[in-house]
Amino acid sequence: MLICCGGLRTDYVITAEGEARLMQMGGNAIYAAGGARLWRDDVAILGRVGGNFPQEWLHELGERGFDVRGIRNIGGVHDHRTFYAYVDKDTRIDTDPAAHFARIGAPLPAALADYENSTRGQENLAAYEPLAVQPEDLRGVSLSAGAALHIAPASILTQQNLPAAARARGAVLVSVDPSERLVKPAMQPLLEAVLSCIDVFLPSDMEVRSFFADRPQLAEDPAAAARWFAERGPGVVVIKRGSRGAYVYQRDGDRAWHVPALRVRVVDVTGAGDTFCGGFMARFAQTGDALEAAICGTAAASFTIEDYGAVRLLDAAREEAEERARYLREESQ
């Protein structure tokens, strides 16, 4: 079993073509689970939703084969909204929805009238925000017989406390894709505590640069940065570099690889990093092969970027993913 922990969201998108797409299924837990599901059948989603989250989406995820018993409905009305607008294919803005709807000549949806951002409360070190996964939520999923857990960007408290709680319940493999709030210089002691509890660390290139902003020799050198992280706990570090592919480092044997990005038509990169992580962990938990896992993660992410939202990923077939992985294996030799 691979458990993908993170957020479930309702996305409001303005495309680069000026089209508004409202109330779409999203969230990093769904993207990660979708990437994992391309490579294995036993994928569970761990998250929290309010009573106002579309219940038909949970039913749809179950129908698609995901184990949704770990999605806890805490009742009440909670904020699941995420907004982002593309000014062009390369520029995305996630604030001030009123201005962007005005730009395309469309009325502001009532649901976004008081929107600020999608991560309110996640930086709070004193208390979990309502939709943050807590250690007690692990009771909703199976952690027996070699289960693995992937934690997507989330509340700092979730990323701090869930790895050890999962270990205590029997998880044999734990990975973290850090929240951008966790990878800041001032957070180094807390980040090091997280690193000491996990097996795989999956930051983005942007997060690495942010964390090592005052240490350019590490910020500009993925090999040196990956070793720095690995020395503090995880046996494998993968730096996601977007269109430049992925840098993969394995502490055992001091080995490293570069996996290029697949050349596909890029429409929307939202969720690509989460999809990569899910695909990576699905294959790594099966094989222990970091290079093969990165190839599978890259192949999975290529589906996400081909359209807006998660539908292209969720509709992708395993046979398609295998074909893309075969190509990447040749490119990564």
- What are the tens digits of pLDDT across the range 63-105? 999 999 999 999 999 999 999 998 876 677 889 999 999 999 9
| pLDDT bucket at 116, cuts 50 / 70 / 90 | confident
Q: Tell me whether residue 228 is exposed, middle or buried, using C-beta atoms within 10 angstroms of its C-beta: 0 to 12, 13 to 18, 19 or more.
A: middle
Orientation of helix 156-168 relative to helix 188-195, angle to 10°: 20
Confidence class for position 22, pLDDT limits 50, 70, 90 = very high
The predicted model gives 283-290 an average pLDDT of: 97
Provide the residue type at 64 as one letter.
Answer: R
Span of 108-122, 211-225, 296-310 with lowest mean pLDDT: 108-122
First to last CA, the chain: 30
Quick one: average pLDDT of 157-171? 95
Q: Considering the chain, what percentage of its residues have pLDDT values greater than 70?
A: 99
Task: Please give the C-alpha separations between residue 130 and each of 58, 120, 153, in angstroms, as whole numbers.
Answer: 19, 10, 16
Q: Would you say residue 333 has pLDDT above 70? A: no
* Whole-number pLDDT of residue 259: 96
Distance CA 284, CA 293 (A): 5
Q: How far apart are alpha carbons 318 and 326 in whole angstroms?
A: 12
CB contact at 8 A, 116 and 139 = no
As a whole number of angstroms, the distance between CA 190 and CA 184 comes to: 10
Q: What is the reported pLDDT for 119?
A: 74
Residue 302 binned pLDDT confidence (cut-offs 50, 70, 90): very high
Mean pLDDT of 301-316: 94
pLDDT value of position 123: 82
Mean local confidence (pLDDT), 314-319: 96
User: Which of the two residues, 281 and 15, has the higher pLDDT score?
Assistant: 281
For residues 260 and 86, which has the higher predicted lDDT (pLDDT)? 260
How far is it, in rounded angstroms, from Cα 305 to Cα 70? 27
For the chain, what is the mean pLDDT?
94
Q: How confident is the model at residue 255 (pLDDT cuts 50, 70, 90)?
A: very high
Q: Write down the pTM of the prediction.
A: 0.94
pLDDT value, residue 290 = 98
Apex 199 CA angle, 319 and 226, nearest 5: 90
Q: Is 184's pLDDT higher than 70?
A: yes
pLDDT of residue 142: 83
What token pair was written down for 106?
């469309």
Question: What does the pLDDT read at residue 86?
Answer: 86
* Domains defined for the chain, CATH in brackets: 2-331 (3.40.1190.20)
Q: What average pLDDT does the segment 174-180 reach?
A: 95
